[in-house]
Amino acid sequence: MSINALPIAIEIKDLKKHFKEIKAVDGISLKIKKGELFSILGPNGAGKTTLVRMLTTVLTPTVGDANINGYSILTGKKDIVKKIGVCPQEITIYDVLRAEENVEFVAAMHGIPRREAKEKAIKLLEEFGIAGRKDWSKNFSGGMKRRLNLAMSLIFEPEILFLDEPTAGLDPQARRLVWDFIRDLKSRDITIILMTHDMVEADSLSDRVAIIDNGKIIAMGTPTELKEKYGSDNVLEVSFIEKNDLEVVKSNIKNLPFVANSSEIHRKDRDTLLISFQGGLKNLVKLLQQGLIENIDEVENMKFRQNSLEDVFLNLTGRRLRD
């Protein structure tokens, strides 16, 4: 069954949260389908954490409502918490318990019988590669603690799972392991809300992405749709020592028909021009000849790559996600 044919798991209706003069969330409405992996991207302070805290019933909205599997976040909190799992960015484990004991403790809180909890805990920990460890969890590496945290959020088989930066601080091998497990969760019809700064992670895993800035959704769609609408096929990233050289190149390329747009990044040690264009290597040669060749001595560095969600965010906001 395609995503479009699936029933609605989460419906957000004009949700707002104000803290005195600060409009942390300022009128967000959207629908997330059952079994969908929906990513929320935005810089610190954009409102994404406040939004998720309302959806998980931690915060009460100033205005608006949302339905989680048919239950209102205003009147159905007790029913909602039985349906959702939350894996926060901050690692929350019990240091003086072993891995299995941590998972079994959460299972007991959700009323899972002891024998069933033990069987499920062992299976989950085997999937994450940390089963059978007898040492205290306080001695685990950061990556192992994060994987344990994820196992704890899954032990009661939630219908909706909120993941906040699930691979933050992980080495590449551990990150891939978590990505593979998230893909497996999708195949089990679990609805996943992913908050991440990792553009590759969002691009690789997401069915749809919402970009939030200043408490509002400024773009939403599949990763492909967003890259096609707000970027182009290719990006040439050119760094200059002098800003004046950037301005000359920017002026040289502005009338080239295959150039979609350009963006600037300014740092203390360099100025960078990101040129989005179509046509692949053939037009790259034209771009170099017509736009850069006269100023090649002033170019500090050049990088040719495919368009990414980072470029989408930069084109929409004028800054990188982590700036």
Give the 3-state secondary structure of the chain. CCHHHCCEEEEEEEEEEEECCEEEEEEEEEEEECCCEEEEECCCCCCHHHHHHHHCCCCCCCEEEEEECCEECCCCHHHHHCCEEEECCCCCCCCCCCHHHHHHHHHHHCCCCHHHHHHHHHHHHHHCCCCCCCCCHHHCCHHHHHHHHHHHHHCCCCCEEEEECCCCCCCHHHHHHHHHHHHHHHHCCCEEEEECCCHHHHHHHCCEEEEEECCEEEEEECHHHHHHHHCCCEEEEEEECCHHHHHHHHHHHCCCCCEEEEEEEECCCCEEEEEEECCHHHHHHHHHHHHHHHHHHHEEEEEEEECCHHHHHHHHHCCCCCC
Global pTM? 0.81
Residue 320 included in any domain: no
Mean pLDDT of the chain: 86
- Say whether both 288 and 153 belong to one domain: no
Contacts 24+ apart (CB under 8 A), 56-62: 56/80, 56/81, 56/84, 56/86, 56/162, 57/81, 59/17, 61/15, 61/16, 61/17, 61/25, 62/16, 62/17, 62/18
177 and 277 fall within a common domain: no
Residue 213 and residue 316 in contact, taking contact as beta carbons nearer than 8 Å: yes
Q: Residue 316 falls within a domain, yes or no?
A: no
Same domain, 131 and 268: no
* 45: pLDDT strictly greater than 90: no
**Mean pLDDT value of segment 204-211:** 94
Q: Which of 192, 209, 227 is the last residue of a domain?
A: 227
Mean pLDDT of 105-124: 88
pLDDT at 30 over 60: yes
Instruction: Evaluate whether residue 323 is within a structural domain.
Output: no
The domain boundary, picked from 227, 251, 281, lies at: 227
223 plus 236 within the same structural domain:
no
What pLDDT, in 10s, does the model give residues 286-295? 877 766 656 5
Same domain, 212 and 146: yes
Mean pLDDT score, 161-166: 90
Last residue of a domain, one of 175, 200, 227: 227
Query: What's the length of the chain?
Result: 323
CATH code: domain of residue 186? 3.40.50.300
Mean pLDDT over 80-85 rounds to: 90
Quote the domain boundaries for residue 290.
232-306
Q: 162 has which bridge partners? A: 86, 193
248-279 pLDDT, tens per residue? 888 888 888 888 888 888 887 788 888 888 87
* Same structural domain, 246 and 121: no
Domains of the chain: total: 2
* Predicted confidence (pLDDT) per residue in 189-200, tens digit: 899 999 988 888
> Do 162 and 281 belong to one domain?
no
